[in-house]
Amino acid sequence: MALVVSVNTKEYEKPQEGVALGVLADVADLGMVDGFYGAKPKVRLTWVIDQKDTEGNFFVISKTYTASMHEKATLYADVKDILGSVPPVPYDIELLIGRVNTLVLKKETATQGKYAGKDFVNIKAFLAARSGDKLVIPADYVREKDGGVYGRARQNNQGNNTQQAPRTPAPQPRTSAPAQQNTKPVAPEVADEDIPF
């Protein structure tokens, strides 16, 4: 029996460039990753944004960083912008999950490497969300550590999920709102007086 393998040429939809509201949905430890300057510890942060594809699913966008909170590191600069203040070091970046920000997205074309000539939409800046802007992590979002790929359970060759999505909603920030269309209900909002300052 022959096993014929081809190149995946599927063209995936991309979000529009410009400004979008995003909620940080996942933080993944990638371990040591080989790169141009040798192996470095890497992490990937993933956001769900308030734009939908033609099938009605929210777009998911991610950014990979060297796992360093040195003041000159990109991760440090982005965490500082996400929080709107200087983060304490060391800092548990999983505390950012559920955080809502305005993201500045820009379409760019890769100029080198195996993706040369391919278009991507990258996050260029993080701004504070406007007062009243709310977005929640969809309740059926599956984190990478739980086997998710871009927020969805992995698929086997027959197109069936190989792992069930978690049954409990993702933790939500105190600014959370009721779930958006095409999502399951989430935990109720926590009142201000229930949060110690």
- Within-domain flag for 39: yes
Average pLDDT value for the chain: 81
CA distance linking residue 165 with residue 151, whole number of Å? 9
Under DSSP, the state recorded for 57 is: P
- Within-domain flag for 175: yes
Query: Any idea what the Cα angle at residue 31 is, between residues 25 and 33, rounded to 5°?
Result: 110
* The pair of three-digit structure tokens given for residue 178, joined into one six-digit string: 């009721």
Res. 43: pLDDT tops 50: yes
Pairwise pLDDT comparison (83 vs 151), residue with the higher score: 83
CA distance linking residue 33 with residue 147, whole number of Å? 19
CB 104 within 8 A of CB 123: yes
- Within-domain flag for 101: yes
Order of strands across the sheet with 18-35? 58-66, 38-52, 18-35, 100-109, 119-128
Residue 61's nearest CA partner among 43, 79, 74, 48 is 48
**Close Cβ partners of 59 (under 8 Å, ≥ 6 residues apart):** 13, 14, 15, 48, 49, 51, 52, 53
- Within-domain flag for 196: no
- At residue 196, what are phi and psi to the nearest 5 degrees? -75, 140
CB 139 within 8 A of CB 170: yes
Res. 96: pLDDT tops 90: yes
- Within-domain flag for 31: yes
pLDDT at 95: 96
- Within-domain flag for 141: yes
Q: CB-hemisphere CA count at 13 Å for 92?
A: 3
Residue 115: pLDDT band (50, 70, 90) is confident
Span 98-111, average pLDDT? 95
- Please tell me whether the overall predicted TM-score, pTM, comes out greater than 0.75 for this model: no
Pairwise pLDDT comparison (2 vs 181), residue with the higher score: 2
pLDDT at 1: 56
Question: Which alpha helices (H) appear in the chain, and where do they start and end?
Answer: 74-83
Structurally, how many domains does the chain consist of?
1
30 lies in which domain range?
A: 18-184
- Within-domain flag for 193: no
Residue 189: pLDDT band (50, 70, 90) is very low
Which 3 state secondary structure label does DSSP give 77?
helix
Residue percentage of the chain with pLDDT more than 70: 73
CB 155 within 8 A of CB 131: no
CA distance linking residue 134 with residue 116, whole number of Å? 36
* The pair of three-digit structure tokens given for residue 70, joined into one six-digit string: 């040195």
* Span 130-151, pLDDT tens digits: 999 999 999 999 999 999 888 8
pLDDT at 37: 84
- Within-domain flag for 41: yes
